[in-house]
Amino acid sequence: MSRLKKQKRQDIFLDKILNKYSNDPKENIYPKPMTDAEFVRLVTDYLLGEDWYIADPVSPAQANVYVAVAIIEKFNIKKSRS
């Protein structure tokens, strides 16, 4: 994925968050709350793709395991040795 596409995708997701959760600064300086389920869905869509899903009939707590594994497998970050 090119740098420009990554930036555009990042902007799309940031706009989604800011449009839904930002408050009027005159009302409150803090954002509106986001549920745990909304957070997991947002991060899953951003990191794994909006078409990523779990086909197994599992609870949300069990689904979190699948999401965590998929994210860690996708973003295998190796430290460089100095």
Please give the Cα distance from 30 to 82 (Å, whole number).
41
pLDDT of the residue at 77: 78
Specify whether the CB–CB gap between 32 and 60 falls below 8 A.
no
Output Rg (C-alpha) for the chain, integer angstroms: 16
Give the integer Cα–Cα distance in Å for 68 and 61: 11
pLDDT in tens, the chain (82 residues): 677 777 898 999 999 999 999 887 777 888 899 999 999 999 999 999 999 999 999 999 999 999 999 999 999 877 655 5
**Are residues 47 and 71 in contact, defined by beta-carbon separation less than 8 angstroms?**
yes
Q: Which pLDDT value is given to residue 25?
A: 74
Give which of 32, 37, 4 is closest to 18, Cα–Cα.
32
